[in-house]
């Protein structure tokens, strides 16, 4: 290790104030300002804090100009927070530091220099819904059946190619050389669709998220002048959450790093949770070989969590085989025991959790805002929302509002997009008959067919219709007179708005667009018009910060649309003192809360059924579990339910394998000595009991169940595994008997099913068509393994999987 070898001497006159509040290795990382630097360290060890202090140190103590620094964060929210902290350290000089996600940084570079790689500066950024629309049209042109090749699966294959900077030709070439598990034909088909999709996006002057990275990389690779400009501009580059970058992002970081090689990357391989989005943990290894003289710093002290929480999390992550073992320690107190709670149903789980949040806030030790409930999939939030509403507990649902996905917002934004970029086909299609103006599917089809025949965009074709109408000539497209008039009117309106956009600020432009297109009137006539209008006003409020787009301002309509496109679910989230947070495990990355409750600790949910086929997938799920656990500062709860209506847990659930990996000595679980259903017992956690660790044993009644569980649940390694497993199994057996006898829910008669056979073709609503590879068990327990070309090997419970025979 070469800690701090290349940094200049810190300024004379004693340690600068900025270094106070940092431990020794953190200080070393801050002081190593020159040359490549790799900080690899566990959760809560101050990696993000080091980045902030490093910037403050460079600007405050080393005469580095703020605009020479580029800091890349994983979300816009993280960038905002970093800027706030820097503001406190630097007294507002942080404004000139460039901060943002890779995508935001790329969008900015491309607006400025994209023309040099043939990109019109008024490009639109397509979000995932837009991408799917564009892809479906491309599939139609490529004559590829969307039933056999589910668009989402094709898109994710294309995205994987882009993430390693592979274009459609390279993908096609590679198809027959690769031993891809889905087969050459599948890759070849995807490559064909990819080509049509690339062409469509280029015609529409649109980029998807991956293109932002790919095109910026191309720009910098091919244009030495622009590259040199950026080397001149950014002297220092810092990247947080480096473990979740993909190949294209790393390549980009290298291209942006000039001969000065001042590239600082910060990450934790144990928290890599985005392989499914093509993040490549190999980037850390590449960094080490690309910069062999890099200073490497590891931070060993965790400042976030209690000893118990850290011990529990460490015990889980240590079961991963593909990892470098490193120990974190903390000087924080031992803290409360980790609480396991088993509920009977998802409603019960939510009731217990929300009750517990209320109880904690009644003790005065925590506020609602200190607590977060985390879960694997968004759908799990519903039960918690219901409970919060019932009990009057305020909550913030991260990603739940999906403001920009609301219809009225999307419509308004799409109008602005078409005004900004006339070739944006996806947005035009969305608003062409919004509000209804007599341009039904058939007329639109005629329009697009005419445009395709003549090599025009739909908007150009509409202009021809408008011109013909102005000259009183016959409409060039075969549509009704009403449709022809509507097309001509819309075309004129859009052109006028485009002209107005050069002079009007975005808020005024929005007013005019809503008025001229008839959208405002239409919206107000709806039953929920008031609510929609309020949302529009909120959008208008955001638009007020953006001026006219005509005079080349960086903060005009283009910047506004960019902000709207690049916003992520977590960006809109603000913690508040009074509100409980509901958040997915993925979104919780980088955050911390005094109290964390992880719900749905069940096989099929965590690990998720989609990610249980290979060791690598399970290890990524384990890292996700680890990320969740290490968000907790003082109290950690792990919840599961015996029953869940979620298909992949199969009705009656099994405890997550990760629960079995917990050490016995940090666990507590609430008393089970009263019958379930009595609120006081099963929902009210006895605090004195929960804080005792050692006395929650596995004696007597659980012994037998524990022995039985050993064969049923596998032979987990680790100290506490057996005991925890015994307790969980014991609880399940006991509680299930009680639950079933107390409720006696009449069983729905199952329709008679004929068993599937190996080799048979089946169709799944999400995964598309696949071939049965294996069948095990029978009746309700019949499990089938199917190879879906679009989604890989899946093991499904036939009674729940909604499979159709192909
Ligand atoms: N030297 C220190 N003294 C006191 N508190 C610290 C110190 N270093 C970090 N902290 C605090 O510890 C917590 C975790 O720090 P930070 O978020 O920077 O960790 P991290 O390594 O980035 O975590 P993650 O891997 O989860 O992103 C924060 O509340 C931070 O303020
Ligand atoms: Mg961090």
Average pLDDT for residues 288-311, to the nearest whole number? 94
For the ranges 19-33, 272-286, 352-366, 789-803, the lowest mean pLDDT is seen at 789-803
388-393 — which CB contacts under 8 Å span 24+ positions?
388/354, 388/580, 388/582, 391/354, 391/355, 391/358, 393/354, 393/357, 393/358, 393/368, 393/580
For residues 724 and 698, what is the distance between their CA atoms, to the nearest angstrom?
8
**For position 530, what pLDDT does the model report?**
86
**Distance between Cα 703 and ligand 1 center (Å):** 42
Strands 395-397 and 580-584: parallel
**For position 611, what pLDDT does the model report?**
87
**For position 792, what pLDDT does the model report?**
72
**For position 694, what pLDDT does the model report?**
25
The best mutation among 22, 29, 48, 74 to test binding of ligand 1, ranked by most ligand atoms within 8 Å of the C-beta, falls on 48
Q: Which ligand is nearest to the Cα of residue 39, counting in written order? A: 1
* Residue 258 in marked binding region: no
Average pLDDT for residues 140-164, to the nearest whole number? 92
Q: Which atom number of ligand 1 is nearest to the Cα of residue 22?
A: 1
Q: Is the pLDDT of residue 698 over 60?
A: no
* Residue 47 in marked binding region: yes
* Residue 202 in marked binding region: no
**Distance between Cα 626 and ligand 2 center (Å):** 14
pLDDT tens digits, 223-253: 999 999 999 999 999 999 999 999 999 999 9
**For position 669, what pLDDT does the model report?**
54
Q: Is the pLDDT of residue 431 over 50?
A: yes
3-state secondary structure of 30: helix
The closest of 439, 420, 438 to 429, measured between CA atoms, is 439
Residues with CB under 6 A from ligand 1: 21-23, 26, 41, 43-49, 268, 271, 303-304, 590, 592
DSSP H stretches of helix in 19-101: 24-31, 47-61, 76-90
For residues 502 and 556, what is the distance between their CA atoms, to the nearest angstrom?
9
The best mutation among 23, 49, 269 to test binding of ligand 1, ranked by most ligand atoms within 8 Å of the C-beta, falls on 49
**For position 554, what pLDDT does the model report?**
64
**For position 572, what pLDDT does the model report?**
74
Compare 378 and 416 and report the one with higher pLDDT: 416
Name residues with Cβ closer than 5 Å to ligand 2, which is an ion: 47-48, 590
Average pLDDT for residues 358-373, to the nearest whole number? 96
**For position 781, what pLDDT does the model report?**
60
Please, which pLDDT band fits residue 796 given cuts at 50, 70 and 90? confident
The answer to whether 44 and 594 are in contact (CB under 8 A) is no
**For position 442, what pLDDT does the model report?**
94
ipTM over 0.95: yes
The closest of 204, 200, 189, 181 to 150, measured between CA atoms, is 189
Instruction: Establish whether 407 is a catalytic residue.
Output: no
The closest of 464, 449, 363, 348 to 743, measured between CA atoms, is 348
The best mutation among 298, 304, 305 to test binding of ligand 1, ranked by most ligand atoms within 8 Å of the C-beta, falls on 304
**For position 71, what pLDDT does the model report?**
96
Strands 643-644 and 651-652: antiparallel
Compare 630 and 799 and report the one with higher pLDDT: 630
Average pLDDT for residues 514-538, to the nearest whole number? 90
pLDDT tens digits, 379-403: 899 999 999 999 999 999 987 656 7
pLDDT tens digits, 83-135: 988 888 876 677 899 999 999 999 999 999 999 988 998 999 998 889 999 99
Q: Which residues of 251-284 are buried (b: 16+ CB within 10 A; e: fewer)?
A: bbbbbbbbeebbbbbbbbbbbbbbbeebbbbebb
For residues 366 and 363, what is the distance between their CA atoms, to the nearest angstrom?
7
The answer to whether 799 and 747 are in contact (CB under 8 A) is no
For residues 659 and 319, what is the distance between their CA atoms, to the nearest angstrom?
12
The mean of the pLDDT values for the chain is: 83
Residue 566 tokens read as: 């690049």
DSSP states along 271-304: G---GGGT--THHHHHHHHHSTT-EEEEE-B--S
**For position 609, what pLDDT does the model report?**
87
What Rg, from alpha-carbon coordinates, does the chain have? 29
Please, which pLDDT band fits residue 751 given cuts at 50, 70 and 90? very low
> What DSSP state is assigned to residue 608?
B
pLDDT tens digits, 569-583: 777 777 788 999 999
């Amino acid at each position: 290790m070469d800690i701090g070898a290349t940094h200049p001497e810190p300024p004379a006159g004693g340690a600068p104030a900025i270094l106070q509040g940092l431990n020794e290795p953190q200080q070393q990382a801050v002081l190593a300002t020159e040359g490549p630097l790799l900080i690899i360290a566990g959760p809560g060890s101050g990696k993000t804090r080091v980045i902030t202090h490093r910037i403050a140190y460079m600007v405050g103590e080393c005469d580095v100009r703020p605009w020479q620094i580029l800091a890349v964060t994983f979300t816009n929210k993280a960038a905002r927070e970093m800027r706030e902290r820097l503001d406190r350290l630097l007294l507002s000089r942080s404004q000139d530091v460039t901060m943002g996600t890779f995508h935001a940084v790329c969008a900015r570079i491309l607006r400025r220099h994209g023309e040099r790689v043939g990109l019109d500066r008024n490009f639109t950024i397509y979000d995932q819904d837009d991408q799917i629309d564009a892809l479906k049209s491309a599939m139609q042109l490529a004559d590829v059946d969307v039933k056999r090749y589910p668009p989402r699966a094709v898109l994710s294959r294309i995205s994987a190619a882009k993430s390693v900077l592979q274009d459609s030709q390279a993908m096609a070439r590679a198809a027959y050389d690769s031993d891809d598990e889905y087969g050459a034909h599948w890759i070849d088909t995807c490559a064909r669709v990819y080509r049509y999709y690339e062409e469509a996006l280029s015609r529409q002057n649109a980029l998807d998220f991956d293109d932002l990275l790919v095109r910026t990389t191309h720009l910098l690779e091919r244009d030495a002048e622009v590259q040199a400009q950026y080397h001149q501009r950014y002297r220092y580059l810092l990247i947080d959450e480096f473990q979740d970058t993909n190949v294209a992002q790393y390549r980009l970081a290298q291209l942006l790093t000039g001969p000065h090689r001042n590239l600082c990357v910060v990450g934790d391989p144990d928290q890599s949770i985005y392989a499914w989005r093509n993040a490549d943990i190999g980037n850390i290894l590449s960094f080490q070989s690309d910069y062999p003289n890099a200073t490497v710093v590891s931070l060993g002290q965790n400042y976030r969590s209690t000893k118990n929480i850290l011990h529990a999390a460490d015990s889980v992550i240590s079961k991963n085989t593909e990892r470098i073992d490193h120990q974190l320690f903390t000087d924080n107190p031992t803290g409360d025991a980790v609480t396991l709670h088993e509920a009977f149903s998802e409603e019960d789980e939510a009731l217990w959790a929300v009750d517990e949040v209320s109880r904690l806030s009644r003790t005065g030790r925590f506020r609602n805002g200190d607590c977060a409930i985390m879960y694997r999939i968004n759908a799990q939030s519903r039960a918690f929302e219901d409970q919060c509403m019932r009990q009057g507990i305020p909550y913030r649902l991260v990603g739940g509002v999906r403001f920009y996905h609301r219809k009225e917002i999307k419509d308004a934004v799409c109008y602005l997009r078409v005004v900004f970029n006339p070739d944006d086909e996806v947005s035009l299609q969305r608003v062409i008959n919004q509000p209804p103006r007599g341009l039904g599917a058939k007329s639109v089809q005629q329009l697009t067919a005419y445009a395709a025949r003549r090599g025009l965009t739909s908007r150009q074709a509409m202009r021809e219709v408008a011109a013909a109408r102005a000259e009183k000539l016959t409409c060039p497209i075969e549509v009704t007179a009403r449709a022809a008039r509507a097309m001509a009117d819309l075309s004129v309106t859009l052109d006028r708005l485009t002209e107005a956009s050069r002079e009007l600020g975005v808020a005024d432009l929005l007013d005019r667009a809503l008025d001229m297109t008839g959208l405002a009137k239409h919206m107000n006539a709806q039953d929920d018009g008031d609510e929609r209008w309020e949302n529009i006003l909120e959008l208008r409020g955001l638009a007020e910060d953006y001026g006219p787009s005509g005079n080349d301002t960086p903060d005009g309509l283009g910047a506004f649309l960019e902000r709207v496109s690049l916003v992520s679910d977590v960006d809109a989230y603000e913690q508040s003192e009074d509100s409980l947070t509901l958040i997915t495990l993925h979104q919780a990355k980088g955050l911390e809360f005094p109290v964390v409750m992880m719900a749905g600790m069940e096989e099929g949910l965590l690990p998720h059924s989609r990610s249980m086929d290979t060791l690598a997938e399970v290890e990524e799920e384990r890292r996700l579990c680890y990320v969740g656990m290490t968000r907790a500062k003082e109290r950690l709860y792990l919840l599961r339910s015996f029953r869940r209506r979620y298909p992949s847990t199969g009705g009656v659930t099994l405890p997550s394998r990760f629960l079995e990996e917990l050490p016995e000595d940090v666990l507590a679980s609430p008393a089970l000595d009263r019958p379930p259903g009595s609120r006081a017992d099963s929902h009210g956690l006895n605090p004195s009991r929960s804080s005792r660790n050692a006395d929650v044993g596995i004696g007597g009644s659980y012994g037998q169940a524990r022995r039985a569980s050993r064969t049923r649940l596998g032979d987990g390694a680790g100290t506490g595994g057996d005991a925890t497993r015994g307790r969980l199994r014991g609880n399940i057996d006991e509680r299930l008997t009680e639950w079933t006898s107390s409720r006696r829910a009449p069983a729905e008669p199952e329709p008679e099913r004929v068993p599937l056979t190996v080799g048979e073709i089946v169709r799944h609503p999400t995964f598309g068509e696949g071939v049965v590879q294996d069948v095990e068990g029978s009746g309700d327990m019949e499990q089938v393994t199917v190879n879906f070309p679009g989604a890989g090997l899946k093991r499904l419970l036939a009674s729940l999987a909604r499979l159709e025979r192909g």
